[in-house]
Amino acid sequence: MFITLEGPEGSGKTSQLPRLAEALRAAGHTVLTTREPGGTPIGDQIRKVLFDLGNKSMHPRSEILLFQASRAQLVEEVIQPALAAGQVVLCDRYADSTMAYQGYGHGVDLAQLAELVRFATGGLQPQLTLFLDISPQDGLRRRDADGNWNRLDDYDFEFHQRVYAGYQELIAAEPQRWAVVDATRTPDEVAAELARIALERLQSK
Ligand code: TYD
């Protein structure tokens, strides 16, 4: 089963992912965790280019293609082999991030983007996508307090509001694939809720 985690900046995905993996392992599943962009040696090199504060002149089309290049490599090298071996794959961000950030955030044509994403993934879609729900205000405040600022956080606040609204549209378009979890609660409460939803979905498979 292929499960992805999505959410705005500061939603806590990255700290929740290993906890969710542990909960699924405790229930007897073999779990592989990975993240985007990155997750492979080639993808990690692409990640460095994307997040380099010196790359201010990066064109939006270049950015889109670099995200897809990293994703294509990850699907072929990591995700598909793990799924073929019967593992549960947990991925920190996936195709929905391209639709939310590049599509709704930057206003790139959604149909064109969807086509590029299909090309990059070979059509592989997650069966379950967990959305860690936090408003852009609260998320950016958390991220700022952590001191984890990078090139992509520098985009203006309206951008993050468009991203958030975009996620809401993606969720509304495919409600059976998404599960929305309130990410403003304590980390323990969020972890318990994520585990409950994922285990329920795995059992009903
Ligand atoms: P990262 O440092 O991994 O942070 P986070 O914990 O928020 O995931 O940064 C990922 C950034 O890349 C985040 O700002 C979202 C962005 N992104 C896109 O814009 N498009 C994409 O397709 C992906 C995968 C990520």
CATH number at 153 reads 3.40.50.300
Which of 73, 97, 146 has most ligand 1 atoms within 8 Å of its beta carbon, as the pocket-test mutant?
97
Residue nearest atom 2 in ligand 1 by C-alpha distance:
150
Closest residue to atom 19 of ligand 1, CA basis: 101
Instruction: Report how far apart, in Å, the C-alpha atoms of 152 and of each of 48, 195, 205 are.
Output: 12, 29, 37
Residue 160 token pair:
């993050």
- The tokens of 5 are what? 């985690």
Q: Does the pLDDT value for residue 2 go beyond 70?
A: yes
Out of 101, 131, 151, 160, mutate this one to test ligand 1's pocket (max ligand atoms within 8 Å of CB): namely: 101
What is the residue whose two structure tokens read 């323990």? 188
Q: In the beta sheet, which residues pair with residue 133? A: 182
- Please indicate whether residue 131, judged by its CB atom, sits closer than 6 Å to ligand 1: no
Query: What is the residue range of 122's domain?
Result: 2-204
Q: With 80 as the cut, is the pLDDT of residue 154 above it?
A: no
138-143 long-range CB contacts below 8 Å, 24 or more apart? 138/10, 138/184, 139/7, 139/8, 139/9, 139/10, 139/11, 140/9, 140/10, 141/10, 142/10, 142/12, 143/9, 143/10
Whether the per-residue pLDDT at 68 is higher than 70: the answer is yes
Residue nearest to atom 20 of ligand 1 (CA): 98
Q: How far is CA 142 from CA 68, 88, 120, 147, in A?
A: 28, 30, 32, 9
Write down the pLDDT at residue 49.
98
* Ligand 1 contact, 9 CB (< 6 A): yes
CA of 31 to the centre of ligand 1 (A): 22
* Cα gap 204→91, rounded to integer Å: 20
- What is the distance between the alpha carbons of residues 98 and 36, in angstroms, rounded to a whole number? 10
Its pTM stands at: 0.93
Please report the pLDDT score of residue 150 as a whole number: 59
Structure confidence by residue, pLDDT tens digits, 15-65: 999 999 999 999 999 999 999 999 999 999 999 999 999 999 999 999 999
Q: What is the pLDDT of residues 181-194, one digit of tens each?
A: 999 999 999 999 99
CB-ligand 1 contact for 67 (6 Å cutoff): yes
Separation CA 143–CA 135 (nearest Å):
12
What spacing in Å lies between the alpha carbon of 203 and ligand 1's midpoint? 30
What local confidence, expressed as pLDDT, does residue 148 receive? 62
Domains in the chain, number: 1
162 lines ligand 1 (CB under 6 A): no
